[in-house]
Amino acid sequence: MAWLRFYVVGPMRAKAVPLGMMAALVLWLAAAAVPSRADEELADPVGKVILRIDGAIGRTNRDGAAVFDRAMLEALPSATIVTRTPWTDGETTFEGPLARSVLGLVEAQGTEVWAAALDDFAATIPIDDFERYDVILALKMNGEPMRIRDRGPLWVIYPWSDHPSLITETYHGRSVWQLKSLQVR
Amino acid sequence: MTRQIRLYWLFGLAIFALVTSLGLILLNINAELKHQKAEFRDDIVWFGTQLERDAMLFEEALEAVRDAPGQTDLEPVAYRLEVLWSRVSMAEQGELGDAYSTLDGAPQAVARLHQVLETVEAALARPDPDRDGTLRRAVEDLTALRAVLHGVTVEALTVVALNTESRRERFEDLYRTALALLGGAVFAGAVLAGLLFAENASFRSLRRLLEQRVEERTKALRRAKDEAERANRAKSQFLAMISHELRTPLNAIIGFSEVMKQQMFGRLGSPRYGEYADDIHDSGRHLLDLINEVLDLSRIEAGRYRLFEEPVRLVDVVEAAAEMMRSPAVIDERRLEIEVPDTALTLLADRRAIKQILINLLSNAVNYTRPDGRITVRAALDDGGNPVLQVRDDGIGIPDHMLPEVLEPFRRGETPPYLARNAGQGVGLGLAITRALAELHGGAVELNSRQGAGTVVTVRLPRERVIDPLLHPQIASASLAAPTDQARAV
């Protein structure tokens, strides 16, 4: 992805492009960087659907939306974040696909996502967050899949321990647990 | 001096206070920011409300099952159970849970909720003969917990209000402290500015004082100089007048002693009278020479000596001066050498002054040279094209310490061997007059001498005085023929 970053920070003119547009461009490029997927239709989920993405996206697999089961998400490039949170004791290990990979897969074309939870909680997250930080949609906590009672099945996790500047109400609010859907806007 | 040092101490303290104040402000702000970050957010109210809501939704799901006996779709209950589990486990761990647990009755309520959840989960997990009874009891428990949970939420609201208040108070404290420190900083700055101003003012007054002193001194010096010049002029005038007055009786003395020497009106009775008359005559002439010298110098210094400038061919003047030295038999021809390489060398100068210069220098050379010594008089151009009159001897020379003095009037060697040779010879005006005449021509006198080896006196005149015979052939030739009259015509 190094050549990709070159486009983001390289030419002077790129700086004049609004951040959102740039993020969209990057996501589009990220999608284009995986040609084997770009040409294919998004696969249909086999297991239980745990995430639904709709809104301004380029690839769908059901009624203008992209739906995922656990296996589809596990197949994406994943990352591990070891961090403290206000809601857990001590250091906790989270693992799951990078948010930008998920959005790249569905060819998201927007500046923000509206993340909704099972308990009807919702938060709006700028897509720029996913570019600047390795934000993940955590599938596992301490190596175990998360049940609803563990605030699963998906939890938006920021790398707080690596970026203490993220330890604010704003980013805690964006850390949506029991995530069920994303709407790209 | 001590005042200055005290000022600098104050200066240093002011700066220290300033820096310390600013540092304290920064520290305070930093501490407050850290505190803000560490302090648990107001989420406990939100969390309490959510816990109440999820408990109620769970209760509703249970009621639906309870009110429809034989209901087999337990999915909604299981789902609500899961969601409430997540709430309860959040109340039991993490920073948020810790904060919520500090509220009155919260841990007990959470523990009871936990218990209800476990019971219901167990009832759902395996066939329970008394499932409906279990669900009914769970609903009763949850109904009873409603008030408790709501009470906890209300208390959370109070706690948060108190927190907000104390935070505002802390901010007010910080604000006051910052204000006080800022005041201190401003005060320190003012002190600093005051010090600088005072410093500047004292520098200014010191400078004024110095300027005043310099001005006073300059005035005093100018006065002294004017005074000295006036005194010197008065002295010269006095000397000129006295010399003039002395000459009249001297003329009588010289004239009548001459008459007596010649025995014009009959023989003198004793030959000794003749000798006395000779002595009177010689002394008189000597005195007249001295007076003439004094008169010359006085005239020059009084500014009354006017140069009569005309083309002067140097070889003529040098010959004339040398002739004058030979005529009274003071020097014989063998010992005096004349060097004038360019016999056509002609200057625009005062003939009498140039001759006087040469005679003065030659007299000195004769006086201070052994009888078999050698004297050279030279007139030529130096390397820079300036005309130079030079008299060189191999006499007794002048000691170094006297060199700066001998050009001043009335200065002569006051110790042997100079004293002996001075006896009856001049008053020490020769070199002074030479210098004065040279300076009138825009020139200067240089003295080089080594004791015992001889002396070289050089009179250097400005090159502008040289008359180029190629450019002014008529002058050169005219001066050869009839110097004085022709020069006037030019």
CB contact (8 A) between residue B54 and residue A178: no
Taking residues B45-53, what's their average pLDDT?
91
Cα–Cα distance measured from residue A15 to residue B118, given in angstroms and rounded to the nearest whole number = 57
Residues B372 and B335: beta-carbon distance below 8 Å = yes
Of A86, A149, A150, the CB nearest to B94: A86
Of B85, B96, B97, the CB nearest to A149: B85
Q: Which carries the bigger pLDDT value, residue A33 or residue A134?
A: A134
Whether the CB of A162 is below 8 Å from some CB of chain B: the reply is no
| Contact residues, chain A, for B86 at CB < 8 Å | 119, 148-151, 177-178
| Contact residues, chain B, for A147 at CB < 8 Å | 82, 85
Whether the CB of A83 is below 8 Å from some CB of chain B: the reply is no
- How far does the CA of residue B200 sit from the closest CA of chain A (Å)? 49
Of B37, B82, B90, the CB nearest to A147: B82
CB contact (8 A) between residue A150 and residue B86: yes
Each residue of A125-167: pLDDT tens digit? 999 999 999 999 999 999 999 999 899 899 999 999 999 888 8
Q: Which carries the bigger pLDDT value, residue B202 or residue A15?
A: B202
pLDDT band at A36; cut points 50, 70, 90: very low
- In sign, the C-alpha dihedral spanning B169, B171, B174, B180 is negative
- Residues 105-134, chain A: which have Cβ within 8 Å of B? 118-119, 121
Whether the CB of A151 is below 8 Å from some CB of chain B: the reply is yes
Of A89, A148, A169, the CB nearest to B83: A148
Alpha helices (H) along chain A: 2-9, 19-32, 35-38, 70-74, 99-105, 127-132, 169-174
**Chain B contact residues (CB < 8 Å to A):** 37, 40-41, 43, 50, 54, 79, 81-83, 85-86, 89-90, 93-97
Taking residues B172-183, what's their average pLDDT?
79
CB pairs under 8 A between A and B: 47
Residue of A nearest to B82 (CA): A149
Least trusted range by pLDDT, from B48-62, B316-330, B374-388: B316-330
pLDDT of B479 reads: 46
pLDDT of B334 reads: 59
CB contact (8 A) between residue A87 and residue B40: no
Burial class (CB in 10 A: 0-12, 13-18, 19+), B401: exposed
Which DSSP state fits A42?
P
pLDDT-above-70 percentage for chain B: 85
Each residue of B367-403: pLDDT tens digit? 778 777 888 999 988 888 899 999 988 888 787 777 7
Taking residues B16-37, what's their average pLDDT?
73
Least trusted range by pLDDT, from A23-27, B178-182, B205-209, B313-317: A23-27
pLDDT band at A2; cut points 50, 70, 90: very low
pLDDT band at B212; cut points 50, 70, 90: very high
Taking residues B304-308, what's their average pLDDT?
81
pLDDT band at B327; cut points 50, 70, 90: low
Of B43, B89, B97, the CB nearest to A149: B89
Question: What 3-state class would DSSP assign to A9?
Answer: helix
Taking residues B292-300, what's their average pLDDT?
79
Q: Which carries the bigger pLDDT value, residue B96 or residue A20?
A: B96
CB contact (8 A) between residue A85 and residue B89: no
Residue of A nearest to B42 (CA): A169
CB contact (8 A) between residue B94 and residue A88: yes
| Contact residues, chain B, for A83 at CB < 8 Å | none
CB contact (8 A) between residue A167 and residue B37: yes
CB contact (8 A) between residue B41 and residue A169: yes
For chain B, the average pLDDT equals 81
Each residue of A39-61: pLDDT tens digit? 457 888 999 999 999 999 999 99
pLDDT band at B472; cut points 50, 70, 90: low
Q: Which carries the bigger pLDDT value, residue A37 or residue A171?
A: A171
pLDDT of A123 reads: 93
pLDDT of A133 reads: 94
Residues A86 and A172: beta-carbon distance below 8 Å = yes
Amino acid at B475: I
pLDDT of A146 reads: 93
| Contact residues, chain A, for B43 at CB < 8 Å | 86
- How far does the CA of residue A150 sit from the closest CA of chain B (Å)? 6
Amino acid at B407: L
Cα–Cα distance measured from residue B283 to residue A149, given in angstroms and rounded to the nearest whole number = 147
Least trusted range by pLDDT, from B87-101, B104-118, B123-137: B123-137
| Contact residues, chain B, for A88 at CB < 8 Å | 93-94
The residue of B35, B41, B58, B83 whose CB has the most chain A CBs within 10 angstroms, and thus the best one to mutate to test that interface, is B83
B391 closest CA partner among B433, B337, B429: B337
Each residue of A47-106: pLDDT tens digit? 999 999 999 999 999 888 999 999 999 999 889 999 998 888 889 999 999 999 999 999
Q: Give the 3-state secondary structure of chain B.
A: CHHHHHHHHHHHHHHHHHHHHHHHHHHHHHHHHHHHHHCCCCHHHHHHHHHHHHHHHHHHHHHHHHHCCCCCCCHHHHHHHHHHHHHHHHHCCHHHHHHHHCCCCHHHHHHHHHHHHHHHHHHHHCCCCCHHHHHHHHHHHHHHHHHHHHHHHHHHHHHHHHHHHHHHHHHHHHHHHHHHHHHHHHHHHHHHHHHHHHHHHHHHHHHHHHHHHHHHHHHHHHHHHHHHHHHHHHHHHHHHHHHHHHHHHHHHHHHHHHHHHHCCCCCCCCHHHHHHHHHHHHHHHHHHHHHHHHHHHHHHHCCCCCCCEEEEEHHHHHHHHHHHHHCCCCCCHHHEEEECCCCCCEEEEEHHHHHHHHHHHHHHHHHCCCCCCCEEEEEEECCCCCEEEEEEECCCCCCHHHCCCCCCCCCCCCCCCHHHHHCCCCCCCHHHHHHHHHHHCCCEEEEEEECCCEEEEEEECCHHHEECCCCCHHHHHHHHHCHHHHHHHC
Question: What 3-state class would DSSP assign to A8?
Answer: helix
> What does the buried/exposed string (b/e) look like for B230-268 if buried means 16 or more CB atoms within 10 Å of the residue's CB?
eeeeeebeebbeebeebbeebeebbeebeebbeeeeeee
Taking residues B213-223, what's their average pLDDT?
95
For residue B132 the two structure tokens come to 């409906």
CB contact (8 A) between residue A86 and residue B96: yes
Residues A103 and A26: beta-carbon distance below 8 Å = no
Taking residues B143-156, what's their average pLDDT?
92
Taking residues A20-42, what's their average pLDDT?
52
Residue of A nearest to B40 (CA): A86
CB contact (8 A) between residue A148 and residue B50: no
For residue A127 the two structure tokens come to 């897509």
pLDDT of B148 reads: 93
Each residue of B95-106: pLDDT tens digit? 888 889 989 999
pLDDT band at B151; cut points 50, 70, 90: very high
Whether the CB of A163 is below 8 Å from some CB of chain B: the reply is no
| Contact residues, chain B, for A151 at CB < 8 Å | 86, 90
